[in-house]
């Protein structure tokens, strides 16, 4: 089969690799129907994260079950499924608590020895605990297949669930004022998550006009293009000098975390999901202490959130699909990486 591999910075290839096969009784093999490129994939692409040359890449996918191991009971061949970006066993103490990303036997797609999502098929460990069924009627080759809806479901594998995780960490509640720092796909999905949870006012911080339009579509009431001190001043003005009840940090830099803390209202909280880079000294503990600001977040256990979010996607309550603004096939994956690295694309959808 064909799959995306990475060999060095800016060296993305689509190569012939061995077909996935059942290795353990709990495995399943899934034919990938949708995958995408994540902002975190760009770390390896830019050389900011070390990789083993020839490693698979990609961690967001959905598709059709082709084969299952002898112990798999929850899915069977021919069914459509979506997978979270981490596989998990579903039975360890962490999984029982809903923290599937800390599963004692879990792992990330694309890790050494595992398949990546940006290919034609993938082996899924712990299929019963990892995969979530979605209606077969969504398949684009059926009479009632809805391609847009399938794209929306794909976001549950990472960005929509991660945005939801940030909103929960920030304590978003009905009537709250929410500020979202970052206008990438996760930040935009956090806007949508905040709206879903009942936020009354949502302030999106970002300076790209096309992304601002998506933010407004998702429920943002205000867009602040300024950065740093200027952004803090504008948010303070918009909130009568009080700040936001809930702040979502979806970038991961020292500046973005500093901004998030400074625009939080006394007694408020920051939910952070931006993968930290260069932010080791970002937490101003004195400011947090003086204002009673809480900070919660981390790697989103999206497997826990999929059952809650999936019905709202299927009935149209939320539609995260506008985060995809470029579509490629496998032959175009390298160009998709280039477009996201150059910021000419927000998030690239891959249809093998």
Across residues 148-161, what is the average pLDDT? 97
Mean pLDDT lowest among 70-74, 90-94, 113-117, 124-128 = 113-117
Residue of 245, 299, 308, 236 lying closest to 272 (CA atoms): 299
Across residues 67-91, what is the average pLDDT? 98
Mean pLDDT lowest among 3-7, 145-149, 288-292, 297-301 = 145-149
What does the domain layout of the chain look like in residue ranges? 2-158+301-350, 163-297
d(CA 300, CA 158): 8
Task: Say how far residue 136 (Cα) sits from the centre of its chain.
Answer: 23
Range list of H helices, 170-284: 185-196, 209-218, 228-238, 254-262
Greatest CA separation for the chain: 61
Q: With 60 as the cut, is the pLDDT of residue 352 above it?
A: yes
Identify the CATH homologous superfamily for domain 2-158+301-350: Medium-chain alcohol dehydrogenases, catalytic domain (3.90.180.10)
Q: With 60 as the cut, is the pLDDT of residue 336 above it?
A: yes
Q: With 60 as the cut, is the pLDDT of residue 144 above it?
A: no
Residue of 164, 162, 182 lying closest to 252 (CA atoms): 182
Q: With 90 as the cut, is the pLDDT of residue 2 above it?
A: yes
Average pLDDT score over the chain: 95
Residue of 251, 227, 255 lying closest to 166 (CA atoms): 251
With tokens 């020292």, the residue in question is 254
With tokens 């290839």, the residue in question is 13
Would you put residue 58 in left (φ > 0), alpha (ψ -120 to 50) or beta? Answer: left
d(CA 256, CA 81): 35
Residue of 61, 55, 59 lying closest to 12 (CA atoms): 55
Across residues 326-335, what is the average pLDDT? 97
Q: With 70 as the cut, is the pLDDT of residue 145 above it?
A: no
- In this prediction, residue 138 carries a pLDDT of 86
- The 10s digit of each residue's pLDDT in 105-132 is 999 999 888 999 999 999 999 999 999 9
3-state secondary structure of 252: coil
- The 10s digit of each residue's pLDDT in 188-230 is 999 999 999 999 999 999 999 999 999 999 999 999 999 999 9
C-beta separation of 64 from 80 below 8 A: yes
Residue of 295, 293, 294, 318 lying closest to 305 (CA atoms): 318
- The 10s digit of each residue's pLDDT in 278-310 is 655 668 999 999 999 999 999 999 999 999 999
Directed axis angle between helix 302-314 and helix 159-169, to 10°? 110
Pick the CATH number of 163-297 from 3.90.1150.10, 3.10.129.10, 3.40.50.300, 3.40.50.720: 3.40.50.720
* Confidence at 92, pLDDT banded by 50, 70, 90: very high
* Confidence at 143, pLDDT banded by 50, 70, 90: very low
């Amino acid at each position: 089969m064909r799959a995306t591999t990475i060999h060095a910075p800016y060296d993305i290839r689509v190569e012939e690799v061995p077909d996935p096969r059942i290795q353990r009784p709990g495995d399943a093999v899934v034919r990938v129907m949708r995958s995408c490129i994540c902002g975190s994939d760009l770390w390896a692409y830019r050389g900011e994260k070390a990789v083993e040359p020839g490693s698979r890449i990609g961690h967001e996918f959905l598709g059709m079950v082709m084969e299952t191991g002898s112990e798999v009971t929850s899915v069977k061949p021919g069914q459509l499924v979506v997978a979270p970006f981490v596989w998990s066993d579903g039975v360890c103490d962490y999984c029982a608590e809903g923290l599937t990303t800390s599963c004692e036997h879990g792992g990330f797609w694309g890790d050494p020895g595992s398949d990546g999502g940006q290919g034609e098929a993938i082996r899924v460990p712990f299929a019963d605990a990892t995969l979530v069924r979605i209606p077969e009627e969504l398949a684009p080759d059926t009479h009632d297949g809805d391609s847009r809806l399938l794209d929306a479901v794909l976001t549950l594998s990472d960005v929509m669930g991660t945005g939801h995780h940030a909103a929960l960490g920030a304590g978003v509640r009905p009537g709250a004022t929410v500020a979202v720092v970052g206008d990438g796909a996760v930040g935009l999905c956090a806007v949508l998550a905040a709206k879903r949870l009942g936020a009354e006012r949502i302030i999106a911080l970002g300076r790209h006009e096309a992304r601002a339009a998506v933010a407004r579509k998702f429920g943002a009431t205000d867009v602040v293009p300024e950065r740093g001190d200027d952004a803090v001043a504008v948010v303070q003005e918009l909130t009568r000098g009080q700040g936001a009840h809930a702040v979502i940090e979806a970038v991961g830099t020292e500046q973005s975390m500093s901004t998030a803390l400074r625009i939080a209202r006394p007694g408020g909280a920051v939910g952070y999901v931006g993968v930290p880079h260069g932010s080791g000294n970002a937490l101003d503990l004195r400011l947090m202490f003086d204002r009673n600001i809480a900070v919660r977040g981390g790697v989103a256990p999206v497997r826990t959130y999929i059952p809650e979010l999936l019905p709202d996607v299927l009935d149209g309550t939320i539609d995260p699909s506008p985060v995809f603004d470029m579509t490629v096939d496998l032959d175009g994956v390298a160009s998709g990486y280039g477009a996201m690295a150059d910021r000419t694309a927000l998030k690239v959808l891959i249809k093998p």
